[in-house]
Amino acid sequence: MVVVKLDKELCCSYQSCMSECPEVFGTDDIGVVRLLMTEIPENYREKVELAASVCPQGVITIERA
């Protein structure tokens, strides 16, 4: 399992992450990106890594739990 973190202060809400992994990255009521889960099961790990790689702000971090 991995743990994903998102620095909302630096997020620009382009939503590239949501395109790559909508199971983990969603939006709140006003369209700001938020994490739908932080402890990521193995079957979503590759998609989360791809989401992190396409984030233009580099604000998604992934750590092994």
DSSP H helices in 1-64:
16-20, 42-54
Alpha-carbon distance values, 2 to 29, 32, 39 (Å): 27, 23, 6
Q: Is the separation of the CB atoms in 48 and 59 below 8 Å?
A: no
Smallest distance from ligand SF4 to CB 15, Å: 5
Q: Which 19-58 residues touch ligand SF4, going by CB under 6 A?
A: 33, 55-57
Q: How many residues bind ligand SF4 (CB under 6 A)?
A: 14
Q: Which of 5, 14, 34, 46 binds ligand SF4 (CB under 6 A)?
A: 14
Give the residues lining the site for ligand SF4 (CB under 6 A). 6, 11-17, 33, 55-57, 59-60
